[in-house]
């Protein structure tokens, strides 16, 4: 289990820390920590504060992911999914939500708005090369295999 230090800001006081909703859950649910109810208009987006600052260990990242229920029921998702929280970031985690639904979407303090998954990060080193290994796929992409 990875230990992550967390600081709860004043506007998040009284809210529980993010938790796993089931034993097999991959992510913890992030809560809206705004003081007042806000509404995302149809087609609009909004940065929602969580009231949390975290210190991830070196070699890990936080992935901000949509909640499937919000997407399926209301058309609300994370605009930059997945958002990334780098190990050296120490500011407040905020979630950029977008409303693709047909009605304005209201967010109240304490609503579960997204998930945070903590995952290891692989660092790369570029190796300049004039040629690359050949594969069957080659440069085919963007639907080259069709829809069926």
pLDDT of residue 139: 86
- Asked if pLDDT for residue 146 goes beyond 80, the answer is no
CATH architecture of 5-120: Distorted Sandwich (2.70)
The pLDDT of residue 125 is 97
| Percent above pLDDT 90 for the chain | 90
Total count of residues recorded for the chain: 148
What pLDDT, on the 0 to 100 scale, is given for residue 37? 96
Q: Of 42, 88, 82, 87, give the one whose Cα is nearest residue 65.
A: 82
Per-residue pLDDT of 9-38, as tens digits, reads: 999 999 999 999 999 999 999 999 998 999
């Amino acid at each position: 289990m990875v230990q992550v230090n967390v600081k709860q800001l004043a506007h998040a006081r009284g809210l529980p820390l993010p938790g796993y909703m089931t034993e097999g859950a991959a992510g913890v649910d992030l809560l809206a920590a705004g003081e007042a109810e806000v509404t995302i208009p149809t087609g609009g987006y909004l940065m929602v504060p969580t009231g949390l600052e975290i210190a991830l260990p070196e070699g890990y990242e936080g992935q901000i992911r949509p909640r499937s229920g919000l997407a399926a029921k209301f058309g609300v998702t994370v605009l930059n999914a997945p958002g990334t929280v780098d190990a050296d970031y120490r500011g407040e985690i905020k979630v950029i939500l977008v409303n693709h639904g047909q009605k304005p979407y209201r967010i109240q303090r304490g609503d579960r708005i997204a998930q945070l998954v903590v995952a290891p990060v692989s660092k790369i080193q570029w190796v300049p090369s004039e040629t690359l290994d050949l594969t069957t796929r080659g440069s085919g992409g963007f639907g080259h295999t069709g829809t069926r």
